[in-house]
Chains A and B, each alone.
Chain A
Amino acid sequence: MTESTTPAAPALEARDVRVEIGDKTILHAADLTLEAGRLVAVVGPNGAGKSTLARAVAGMQKTAAGAIHWMGDDLGGLRGRKLALRRAFVPQRARVPDGLTVTEAVRIGRSPHLKPLQRPTRRDNEVVAAAMERTGVTQFAERKLTTLSGGELQRVQIAVALAQDAPVLMADEPTSHLDLGATVAVAKLLRGLADEGLAVMLVAHDLSLAAAVADTVVVMSAGRTVAAGPPLDTLTHERLEQVWGVDASVKAAGHHTALHVAWLGGAADHGDAS
């Protein structure tokens, strides 16, 4: 179901975004473009401003300067439900309340489509069921959130966002607390959603994961976007050295990717591992 028609304006176009918190500038100048059917991974060291950029373009963090347009419309004019119908945001650490079941949580994701005091329609229930099916959480639909594993919980969070039924899905480090199996499940899910036509943005720490799933990698360093492009062109040995200060390189063979790191420095043995 890849969308063949390209919309006139990209799903998101953000230029020179600047964020100040108190008198500290967190984000100096950051750019981001998201398009339907494509997955963008934002990578960078801790504190580079990845999450701040994601939150700023999503309208969840006040900006000091810059131009942010969703489907051609200025972010400033999009508030509340209007914005919620254009983008869904999966936070890094969502609260896990007592007493809420998976189904109840996913239903909350549908709320932007409901007017105050309106009851969910059959269509709303169908979207909720489809979101749960797509993320593979249906088999534990009636369990309480507090009983789920980290990977299951993350898939529920994505289901909440899918129930929102917005053309853009943004996820802030969705895999950072997950084991390998759960990470792969989430990576496959996000890639699949992009292939089905969503514009997907993912903030990631894992460079080999980013290289494997992303169409475009955006590298951030010290509050600026310093590079954007196809993963292997962007995550070069020189850039990893400049931005992370590490002797490392990303290797790819088909769908397999690996990050080769000189963990203890010194020995320049990158390139000959296979």
Chain B
Amino acid sequence: MRRTAVVVVLVVAVVAGLTASLALGAVDIPLQTVIDALTGNADPGPLRKIVLDLRLPRTVEAVAVGAALGVAGALLQGALANPLASPDVIGVTGGAGFGAVLILIVFPGSIALLPVGALFFGLLAAGIVFAIAWAGPNAGGPGRLILAGIAIAALFGAGMTSILVAYPDRVQSALFFIAGGLTSDGWSDLKVVWPYFAVGFAIAIALARPLDRLALGDDVAASLGARPRMIRLLSGVGAALLAAAAASLAGLLGFLGLVVPHAVRLASGTSSHTYVLPVSALGGSALLLAGDTLARTVRAPIEMPVGPFMVVIGVPLFLFLLRRAV
């Protein structure tokens, strides 16, 4: 069956991506050494250090960020009944970009605060969007949320651009974040943001069936005893946590959140959230692992930002699925 086939392909892709991510890079490490390092059997030495202290945290970050963005996109597309919904739409990406650029350019001495800054401003932007969307007439409707999101994203986007223009000599240091990319700096960032991932994924699991009830519109959902506005708010909160945490680790990779859930739906032929949410997590992980491995190896030892590579892999795949679907 198609659904099972998609899961099998993605699991294979994730395993291949994990392997490549740990083994390939500026130094290629034999697979056996990688396995020995992971199981604690490797001789102490530089290779073991590279695998455990540099590549393993980066690989875990790629899995977490890819899964988070895939799930965030699926949550928002389901909750807003809008195929164009992605973390950009609720302001998270704009806010996180502003927060990161603020630290990178205005306070470069506090570079350790980068993930915190991105996370804080990402969630702040989403918070403002929700506050606007849940006030006034038609509170909590998708149209209101999307329009508020576009306005706030534009505001933070303008803030980010202003900083870049004000400090033209330091723009270089922010480019990597804006293009989107992972770094090999150990476990410290993950230690800060993992609770946000955990809560975000927990919300997503709890919402899988309620989101399906929303598929036939708010009235049918209400007839079935669901609370559409509450489902939408929780989806937004979950997506904001996941996308802000993802941005704080890997910069602005909005493309992933938009495209992965669509690819999953097109390839599997189902829109059921009990399927689309977990499989989008797999798909996002696979795509980001592949993109990041390419970004590290194409011009090794120079590392490229992963964003453009993911687009290079993702867009042709997506266009192929789209062509077949219509």
Q: Enumerate chain A residues within 8 angstroms of B217, measured Cβ to Cβ.
A: 91, 93-95
Q: Enumerate chain A residues within 8 angstroms of B206, measured Cβ to Cβ.
A: 116
User: Which residues of chain A have a CB within 8 Å of any CB of chain B?
Assistant: 22, 58-60, 79-85, 87-95, 97-100, 104-105, 108-109, 111-112, 114, 116-117, 157, 160-161, 164
Contact A94 B271 (CB under 8 A): no
Contact A97 B225 (CB under 8 A): no
Contact A108 B224 (CB under 8 A): yes
* Distance, CA A85 to CA B225, complexed state (A): 8
Contact A97 B223 (CB under 8 A): no
Extra 10 A-B pairs, beta carbons < 8 Å, given A109-B224, A111-B209: A60-B219, A95-B215, A95-B216, A97-B215, A98-B271, A100-B215, A108-B213, A108-B220, A157-B216, A160-B216
**B81 at the A/B interface (Cβ < 8 Å)?**
yes
Contact B225 A94 (CB under 8 A): no
Given contacts A22-B137, A89-B219, contact A111 B272 (CB under 8 A): no
Contact B270 A99 (CB under 8 A): yes
Q: Enumerate chain B residues within 8 angstroms of A79, measured Cβ to Cβ.
A: 225
27 A-B pairs whose Cβ atoms sit less than 8 Å apart in the complex: A22-B137, A58-B222, A84-B223, A84-B224, A84-B225, A87-B223, A89-B222, A89-B223, A91-B223, A92-B219, A94-B216, A94-B219, A95-B217, A95-B220, A97-B216, A98-B271, A99-B265, A99-B269, A99-B270, A100-B216, A104-B270, A108-B212, A111-B224, A111-B226, A112-B224, A114-B209, A164-B223
Q: Enumerate chain B residues within 8 angstroms of A85, measured Cβ to Cβ.
A: 225
B120 to chain A, nearest CB (A): 32
Interface on chain A toward B: helix, strand, loop, or mixed SS?
loop
Contact A95 B225 (CB under 8 A): no
Q: Enumerate chain B residues within 8 angstroms of A109, measured Cβ to Cβ.
A: 220, 224
**B3 at the A/B interface (Cβ < 8 Å)?**
no
* Distance, CA A82 to CA B222, complexed state (A): 12
Which residue on chain B has the smallest CB distance to residue A118?
B209
Q: Enumerate chain A residues within 8 angstroms of B265, measured Cβ to Cβ.
A: 99
Q: Enumerate chain B residues within 8 angstroms of A88, measured Cβ to Cβ.
A: 223
Q: Enumerate chain B residues within 8 angstroms of A157, measured Cβ to Cβ.
A: 216, 220
B185-226 contacts to A (CB < 8 Å): 206, 209, 212-213, 215-217, 219-220, 222-226
Contact A82 B216 (CB under 8 A): no
Q: Enumerate chain A residues within 8 angstroms of B224, measured Cβ to Cβ.
A: 84, 108-109, 111-112, 164
Contact B223 A111 (CB under 8 A): no
Interface on chain B toward A: helix, strand, loop, or mixed SS?
loop
Which residue on chain A has the smallest CB distance to residue B136?
A22
Q: Enumerate chain B residues within 8 angstroms of A83, measured Cβ to Cβ.
A: 225
* Distance, CA A133 to CA B224, complexed state (A): 21
Contact A80 B227 (CB under 8 A): yes
Given contacts A89-B219, A91-B220, A105-B216, contact A97 B271 (CB under 8 A): yes
A173 to chain B, nearest CB (A): 12
Q: Enumerate chain A residues within 8 angstroms of B220, measured Cβ to Cβ.
A: 89, 91, 94-95, 108-109, 157, 160
* Distance, CA A95 to CA B213, complexed state (A): 11
* Distance, CA A161 to CA B212, complexed state (A): 15
B228 to chain A, nearest CB (A): 10
Q: Enumerate chain A residues within 8 angstroms of B213, measured Cβ to Cβ.
A: 108, 111
Given contacts A60-B219, A104-B272, contact A97 B81 (CB under 8 A): yes
Q: Enumerate chain A residues within 8 angstroms of B212, measured Cβ to Cβ.
A: 108, 111
Q: Enumerate chain B residues within 8 angstroms of A98, measured Cβ to Cβ.
A: 83, 271
Most buried by A among B216, B219, B223, B271: B223
Q: Interface 1/0s, chain B 157-184, versus A by CB < 8 A? A: 0000000000000000000000000000
A109 to chain B, nearest CB (A): 7
Given contacts A95-B216, A95-B217, A97-B81, contact A117 B209 (CB under 8 A): yes
Which residue on chain A has the smallest CB distance to residue B83?
A98
Contact A108 B215 (CB under 8 A): yes
Q: Enumerate chain A residues within 8 angstroms of B225, measured Cβ to Cβ.
A: 79-85, 112
